[in-house]
Structure 1
Amino acid sequence: MQSLGSLVRVRHINCGTFRARIGGPALVSHVLVCEFEHGLVLVDSGLGTDDVAHATARLGAGFRLLLPALDSAETALDQLDRLGWTANDVTDVVLTHLDLDHAGGAADFPSATVHTTAVELKSAQTRSGIPAKVRYRPTHLAAIEHRSAGYVECSGELFGMAGHQLHDSVWMIPMPGHTAGHSVVAIRDPEHGWLLHAGDAFHHRRAVTGQRSGRSISMAEALFADDLKLLRTNQRRLADLSTTPGGPRVFCAHDPIQFRALIT
């Protein structure tokens, strides 16, 4: 990834709107488009074009319960096309984890290397248990099978946390709980400083402000957690980090308020 040169700009795009419950706020699938001198890197990928076109077959009937918008204009591929980029301009996709709403869009960028942890990759490939069969989709995994880099040994430390340095401006930091191999991704935005995309390490901004996130959010986090105790421990770590002077701006994948604050 070092051959990409310097990071020039970071864009924030929504690659999948859905409602977790009827009457609730519309949630987003927050994806970062990192523009380097010699290519693009995505952090997460949202839903892909085939996911939108063939939702039940690719995502499973259960995903319909989240009331997804399934709008092709929200896919990363379509949004990049409107910005003047092509699929081949995306050299790398860094995934916080391989859940269907985070990894599906990677299929639209067949020449890109997909980065995740070895633990997450193995969990997705084995699909052991009902939750794993729901969250990890065979079509998504087949699309990245021969172009995935699964990291084991951490190469350094950032913000007091061990992680994998992929570039001077890109770090992947293991933070399990939501899934066994979940990571957060740190990006050094040349304009705004360090950003920390926390994926599904939390689902509501209140997790890093010390406030109660509400019963429905807490129940959803518990329902989808691989290790709830570890998830809560890491949420406290992120809360501390978000208030550390000089620390990164911490945000999750689905909070619409955090997303709107970053795009403005």
Structure 2
Amino acid sequence: MRRVRHLNCGTFRARLGGPALVSHVVVCEFEHGLALIDSGIGADDVAHANSRLGVGFRLLLPALDTVETAVEQIGAMGFSAADVTDIVLTHMDLDHLGGASDFTSATVHTSAAEQSSAATRTDAAAKVRYRAPHLRAVKNRTSGYSDFTDELFGFTGHRLHDSICAIPMPGHTVGHCAIAIDDPQRGWLLHAGDAFHHRRAITGQSSGRSISIVETVLADDRRELRLNQRRLADLAARSGGPQIFCAHDPVQFAALVASQVQ
């Protein structure tokens, strides 16, 4: 891996008493091309928001700005959509998978449990989070993994590359994973996806009633969610551990952008 960069690929303004939320996408630059960790909101999502994201999604007040899409931001870096060879997902929710539609030659990686859940669930909650246009776009290029036998940070995971490892972290969804990234400049990072929604979840502080309610409402398994938050808090407290961040915390995102190598 040559370089790691951090992009906001979807702003959400529905945050009472605080800054807008981000959709944190990590760009990993290799000699052979680019790998994305999550993909944010895509160009077609911006153009056809109601049909692709659902009318209810508008309650989050998404910016729906083409400039924020990963494909636009990667283009501004001097790359093309074809340079993205792989997209590694924390999970398949609409705000994490939507941008994959813009990278038609990329292989999409997720856990087998998440792939199965997205493909087979038909309940109302699943229809909100797993959007049919997104799933159709990646149906024939998704690779699901179930062998979590590699050890990292005291966890077991699945190494997709020497520098990228998926660690099962169910709760928000049944097949949710945190993605570890070995940044050549800063050492190990851990993209925890939606395992938590506010940085205080891993510091032992209260993240606030509104955030806790959102986490609870969106969780497939609340017990697993809280268990994994405690595991992440323990990891964050260890000396020499990875830098842990979630998908939507704007303060964590800003700190990583400020410290990234230009």
- Same fold at TM > 0.5: yes
Determine the C-alpha separation between the residues in 1 that align with 2:160 and 2:223: 29
**1:25 CA drift (Å):** 1.8
**1:155 CA drift (Å):** 3.5
The amino acid of 2:93's aligned partner reads D
> Structure 1 unaligned runs (5+)?
1-6
Does 1:16 pair with 2:21? no
TM (norm. structure 2) is: 0.97
**1:21 CA drift (Å):** 3.6
Tell me the residue number matched to 2:218: 224
**1:157 CA drift (Å):** 1.1
**1:22 CA drift (Å):** 5.0
SS in 2 for 1:26: coil
SS in 1 for 2:56: helix
Does 1:152 pair with 2:153? no
SS in 1 for 2:133: helix
Determine the C-alpha separation between the residues in 1 that align with 2:191 and 2:257: 14
Tell me the residue number matched to 2:167: 173
Contact 2:9–2:41 (CA under 8 A) maintained in structure 1: yes
Determine the C-alpha separation between the residues in 2 that align with 1:39 and 1:97: 22
Does 1:40 pair with 2:30? no
Determine the C-alpha separation between the residues in 2 that align with 1:146 and 1:180: 22
> Structure 2 unaligned runs (5+)?
none
Show CA shifts across 1:17-56 (max 9, x none): 0023455420000000000111100000000000001000
Show CA shifts across 1:98-155 (max 9, x none): 0000000001001000000011011111133111110000000001000001011213
The amino acid of 1:55's aligned partner reads A
| RMSD of Structure 2 on Structure 1 (CA) | 0.8
Tell me the residue number matched to 1:4: none
Tell me the residue number matched to 1:27: 21
Tell me the residue number matched to 2:204: 210
Tell me the residue number matched to 1:237: 231
The worse-fitting range, judged by mean Cα deviation, of 24-33 and 66-75 is 24-33
Determine the C-alpha separation between the residues in 2 that align with 1:243 and 1:108: 38
CA gap 1:194/1:35 in 2 versus in 1, 3 angstroms: same
Determine the C-alpha separation between the residues in 2 that align with 1:239 and 1:41: 27
SS in 1 for 2:2: strand
Q: Of the candidates 126, 133, 145, which is equivalent to residue 139 of structure 1?
A: 133
Q: Of the candidates 99, 103, 114, which is equivalent to residue 97 of structure 2?
A: 103
The amino acid of 2:217's aligned partner reads L
Determine the C-alpha separation between the residues in 2 that align with 1:22 and 1:242: 27
Q: Of the candidates 200, 206, 214, which is equivalent to residue 194 of structure 2?
A: 200
The amino acid of 2:20's aligned partner reads A
The amino acid of 1:45's aligned partner reads S
SS in 2 for 1:207: helix
Does 1:64 pair with 2:58? yes
Tell me the residue number matched to 2:43: 49
**1:235 CA drift (Å):** 0.2
Tell me the residue number matched to 2:75: 81
Determine the C-alpha separation between the residues in 2 that align with 1:228 and 1:23: 25
The amino acid of 1:110's aligned partner reads T
The amino acid of 1:249's aligned partner reads Q
SS in 2 for 1:13: strand
Q: Of the candidates 165, 182, 193, which is equivalent to residue 188 of structure 1?
A: 182
The worse-fitting range, judged by mean Cα deviation, of 79-88 and 119-128 is 119-128
CA gap 1:134/1:243 in 2 versus in 1, 3 angstroms: same
Determine the C-alpha separation between the residues in 1 that align with 2:97 and 2:10: 12
Determine the C-alpha separation between the residues in 2 that align with 1:156 and 1:25: 37
Determine the C-alpha separation between the residues in 1 that align with 2:16 and 2:182: 37
SS in 1 for 2:240: coil
Show CA shifts across 1:147-194 (max 9, x none): 001011213111111110011000011110000000000000000000
Tell me the residue number matched to 1:3: none
